[in-house]
Amino acid sequence: MGSGGSERRPCQAIALPGCIAANPMLTARRPIRGADSGLPFHMGQPVVNEETNRVETSSGHLGGSIQASLGGRYATALFELARDEKALPAVEASLVGVRAAIDQSPEFQRLIASPLLSRDAAARAIAAVAASMKLDATTAKFLGVLAQNRRLSQLPAIIRAFRQLAAAQRGETTAEVTSAHPLDAGQVAELKAQLKTRLRRDVTVDLTVDPALLGGLVVKIGSQMIDSSIRTRLNTLAHAMKG
């Protein structure tokens, strides 16, 4: 994460403690349930074992399939709270920013993956990140809960599931897009237009960066996959040459 002592480091793409002061985490106005068998949306509070209402979407069994995973249950809990507070657009926008930070900041990647940070240290660090990114209050509190419960590693899965729920509510299809390098706004717009033409409906794209692809894209829509990555082309070529 960083060097010891009180020395301040230059702020990078994501500011962590040492760059800016961490704000104390706030508590939510009401519990958010559904993750970890009924986790309330308050840090340091006992787990409440109550059933959560399932999210009803236009995509049939999407809500049920998402709740089958831990990340999906956290995403469902956050989605329900954001929907009730009429904050879905703000929360989704914040999560898109967090997803980009995960892809672009090695320091942030280490933060969410580290098993060595204490709960309090992780909460302070994530509070500083939320403040520097100007995340909405609901998302900032939610990230604090993840830190206190050692679930920050679930963030990529949570963001993916949340965006699927949000897209389904809007009547859109979600395409999981993995690229070797970050796509700019123009490339994303062109990709969405092409997918809309192919699928004949609006499409939300969930972007992930994987340098191992070398180039090109991998697009997954439900059970369908379009793999135009250079890595796959090279593997196919190598296999053909062996024949």
Q: Does 181 reside within a domain?
A: yes
Q: Does 197 share its domain with 156?
A: no
More confident residue, 35 or 99: 99
Q: Establish if 1 belongs to a structural domain.
A: no
pLDDT class of 24 with cuts at 50, 70, 90: very low
How many independent structural domains does the chain possess? 2
pLDDT-derived band at 4 (thresholds 50, 70, 90) equals very low
Using the 8-state DSSP alphabet, how is residue 39 labeled?
-
Same domain, 27 and 137: yes
Query: Domain check: are 136 and 165 in the same one?
Result: yes
| Number of residues assigned to the chain | 243
Higher pLDDT, 64 or 211: 211
For residue 204, tell me if it sits in a domain. Answer: yes
Output the six-digit token pair for 30: 């009401």
DSSP H helical ranges for the chain: 62-66, 70-84, 88-104, 106-113, 119-133, 137-148, 155-169, 185-199, 230-242
In a domain, 8, yes or no: no
In this structure, the answer to whether residues 69 and 178 fall within a common structural domain is no
One domain, residues 67 and 26: yes
pLDDT at 40: 38
Of 109, 136, 171, the domain-final residue = 171
Q: What is the mean pLDDT of residues 218-241?
A: 85
Distance (Å, whole) CA 109 – CA 107:
5
Q: Are residues 45 and 157 in the same domain?
A: yes
Clarify whether residues 128 and 40 are in a common domain: yes
pLDDT of 75 higher than 80: yes
pLDDT per residue over 147-189, tens digit each? Answer: 999 999 999 999 999 999 999 898 888 888 999 888 899 999 9
Same domain for 203 and 89: no
Q: Is the pLDDT of residue 241 over 50?
A: yes
Model confidence at 30, pLDDT cuts 50, 70, 90, reads very low
Please identify, among 171, 198, 218, the residue that sits at the C-terminal boundary of a domain: 171
Q: Which residue has the higher pLDDT, 185 or 52?
A: 185
Specify whether 134 is located in the same domain as 27: yes
**In this structure, are residues 174 and 66 in contact, taking their beta carbons and an 8 Å threshold?**
no
Is 120 a member of any domain? Answer: yes
Residue 224: beta bridge partners?
221
Which of 18-22, 70-74, 89-93 has the least mean pLDDT? Answer: 18-22
pLDDT of 57 higher than 80:
no
Range of the domain at 19: 13-171
Q: Is residue 214 part of a domain?
A: yes
Query: Do 56 and 159 belong together in one domain?
Result: yes
**pLDDT attached to residue 63:** 53
Of 137, 171, 205, the last residue of a domain is: 171
Kindly state whether residue 24 falls inside one of the protein's structural domains: yes
The answer to whether 183 touches 207, Cβ cutoff 8 Å, is yes
User: How far is residue 27's CA from residue 41's CA, in Å, rounded to a whole number?
Assistant: 8
Tell me what pLDDT residue 85 has: 94
Whether 221 is in a domain gets the answer yes
Based on the domain organization, do 133 and 201 belong to the same domain?
no
pLDDT of residue 62: 57
Does the pTM of the predicted model rise above 0.75?
A: no
CATH code, domain carrying 123: 1.10.520.20
Most confident of 37-41, 87-91, 210-214, 234-238: 87-91
